[in-house]
A and B are shown apart, each in its own frame.
Chain A
Amino acid sequence: MTKVGVVGAGMTLFRRRLQETPKELCYEAAKMALDSAGLTLADVDMVVSGSAPDAFDGVHMKGEYFLDGCGGYRKPYTRVFTGGGTGVFSTIAGWWHVASGLADVVLVVNEEKMSSCQPHPQSVFAHIWDPILDRPLKPNLIWIFAMEMNRYMTVHKVRKEDIALVAVKNKRNAVDHPCAQLADPNITVDDVLNSEVLAWPVQRLDISPPSDGAAAVVLASEDFIRKRRIRDRAWISGVGWAIDSTMWTDRDLYFPEYVARAAKMAYKMAKIDDPRRQIDFAEPYDPFDYKELHHLEGLLLAKKGEAPILTREGVTQRDGKLPVCPSGGLLGVGNPIAATLGMKIGELFWQLTGQAGGRQIPHEVRTGVSQAWGDLMQYGCVVVMKA
């Protein structure tokens, strides 16, 4: 198995509406990632793209449509898609392109343009349900996540205040992120608790915003990194992914078993047997504030029900013992679904190579884990990276 490193990363501004077309967003992120690696498109053997529902951008086979923006012109090019999990999954696909020995350098580009979906991207989510069992109930995403959040709070007797702390932490962390959409240096728990109730217990400030944006990373083989004397690199030491049953109504939603399976797979490959001690910081998927807690438990970085306590005690702050979402996460930087690659894999690369600027974790970090979540509350994918 060829050893694979991340050698460059780039991301665009995340905003509710951007003027750029999907192709242009892809180009910006891809160019930035290649520039940061000191490489050009001529060095790239293959291209992998990631993007979530085609209906956001409003183009069928959108992977074909924006492939030239991604640098896929006259190259082997594939798009992968695992719902919200795509933010981390495309890097896993890029990893196997290099680890298999078929490619030396792979460019991974993720894009999402949700603003072309009118009047609101929520209307696309009306089409993610089983047409017979779910759709007639006219569900929307916020209310099924409200059910999951409620179940989590009920099982572990979690207070809403402790969950709101996650939103406060991440929106404050995002102040140092140049791409951030919803950073707020002055936000308080009261602001979250007093924001509009959308579907109890979900309130407006518990949710990350829809967004436009793109992000990219460059992956390279150990040989290539050595030959080209690339210094800023972080190694991918573990990958894992798993999908749970489509029948979400048949599962107990309080614990993300699919994340735990993916994490165990990645930890086994990375030779991690005690994640709490061997992992220095984490970028779990945080489209809702309770999801960060839910996923920390799925990642086995907190015992079941323990994540809110760690948060209350400040363990997950940027200067805490286990910094979580030092980037500002989706809650602070924004949530252009697949493009969250920039806060998940990108942030791991920047932190592990000491390039995170104002977001840099003050103590030394050697091992980080990132995770994304997708489909119908059923998909987990995990990447472990080492300095």
Chain B
Amino acid sequence: MRVGIIGIGMTAFRPSTPESSWKELMFEGAARAYADAGVDPRTDVDSFITCSEDYYEGFGIFDEFVPDQLGAVLRPTCTVTGDGLQGLANAFMQIQTGLMDVAVVEAHSKASDILTLDGVIEHALDPIWNKPLGMHPFVIAGLEADAYLRATRTSTKALAAVVSKNRRNGLRNPLAAYGANVDEDQVTRSEERFAPLRTLDVSRPADGCIVLVVASERAARKFHADPVWIRGIGWASDSPSLETRDWVEATYARMAAEMAYRLAKIRRAATAIDFAEIDDRFSYKELQHLEAIGLARKGDAGKCIRKGEYGPEGRLPVNVSGGSIGCGNVFEATGLHRAAEVALQLRGDAGSRQLDGVKVGVAQAWRFVPSATGAVAVLGVGQ
């Protein structure tokens, strides 16, 4: 059975949204998605999935606070404590069982409500082995960036090229929070934070909400939708402990991509995929992830970015949306944002950043520091 995205709703991404509560952000994203799909949540939607983590939300049980603003009261609703793409995978499976025809996936960030964001992330470290070291959790990203750069002989100039490209791409995305004309020198001159990472290598938090309406082929026909098909989806986890995971290759991304490509019947990703939205919450992650999911050969991503191959006019446009560096880090909503962006491009609704003639795109996300979990979705239009 084919499953497709028939509705997309997004709020703008902004460093803070003092005028809206998290409920209002969710309402806006949902209202936009339902209008886009032409569905009434109270009668047409069979299942609702929210992707969130308690500590990011500041609640003991955040699942309590989702039904009203989504139109999900007295309906099947649940929380997937994971990235939005994992939520999308669960919606995909629910529809594949035949029990559901239409499912809604929601993810958001209200990071500006968090007074101690670094402390929250630090709380995810192993309480016995790692947390007592007292390090800032982004030290893990710094160590991993160092391991990746050394093993692949990639220059830090490649990281600066990622930042410059994504900040500039953000200027053409009206929803992006951090679009700016940043050149590579500005990146390499910015303050060193988690060596080899500098201030501008690290994406900054943003608030925002994304809602997707997902439907079976039969239901999509009923709503006269022209769906963006979920051709394949995959998710995987490497070791949660820092001591035993792979620090060079993003194994979770490789395994998730293998699963997604298998479902999508893609043999050679590098030729089958027209463009990609890749998790770049630290600049090196874009390159590491591109290699892990088979869109660049090992150690080549750094060279390709410096040749401009990943720019909007390049061979493989990457993060035309601006990515997390250009749009902002929206935490668990990251993957859903990327899927929404790929879907907009495939529908031809990406405005001034629209790519020409794209048919197949990939969205990839990671669950951020200190996790080694990620997901990949292959989306496509037409037969």
Contact = CB atoms under 8 A, between A and B. Distances in A.
Asked if A and B bind, the verdict is yes
A59 B81 contact: no
A93 interface: yes
Contacts of B97: 1-2, 96, 99-100
Contact of B126 (A65, A72, A379): A65
A378 to B, nearest CB: 7
Contacts of A78: 80, 82, 86, 89-90, 235
Interface stretch (A48-56, A177-185, A306-314, A320-328): A48-56
Contacts of B81: 61, 63, 79-81
A111 interface: no
Contacts of B90: 78, 80, 93, 96
Contact of A54 (B55, B128, B372): B55
A99 B86 contact: no
Interface residues of A, number: 64
B188 interface: no
Nearest to B86: A78
Interface string B50-94: 000111001111011111100011111111111000100110111
Contacts of A280: none
Interface stretch (B116-124, B169-177, B218-226): B116-124
Interface in A123-166: 124-128, 130-131
Contacts of B124: 59-61, 64-65
Contacts of B98: 1
Interface in B345-383: 367, 370-373
A97 interface: yes
B54 A53 contact: yes
A379 B63 contact: yes
Interface string A34-63: 000000000000000000111100111101
A93 B78 contact: yes
Contact of B64 (A72, A97, A376): A376
Given A73-B237, A81-B63, A64 B259 contact: no
B309 to A, nearest CB: 31
A79 B82 contact: yes
Nearest to A46: B235
B320 to A, nearest CB: 28
Contacts, number: 186
Given A76-B259, A77-B373, 15 more contacts: A2-B97, A59-B127, A63-B82, A76-B237, A78-B82, A81-B78, A83-B64, A96-B96, A96-B99, A128-B64, A243-B75, A245-B73, A246-B67, A261-B74, A262-B76
B99 to A, nearest CB: 7
A59 B67 contact: no
B164 interface: no
Contact of A60 (B65, B67, B120, B238): B120
A63 B79 CA distance: 13
B251 interface: yes
Contacts of B99: 1, 96, 99, 239, 269
B155 interface: no
Contacts of A68: 239-241
B128 A21 contact: yes
9 contacts: A53-B54, A76-B237, A96-B99, A100-B94, A101-B96, A102-B96, A243-B77, A244-B73, A378-B64
B290 interface: no
A281 interface: no
Contact of B237 (A74, A81, A240): A74
Contacts of A197: none
Contact of B74 (A58, A93, A257): A257
B79 A80 contact: yes
Contacts of A55: 54-55, 60
Contact of A74 (B77, B121, B251, B371): B251
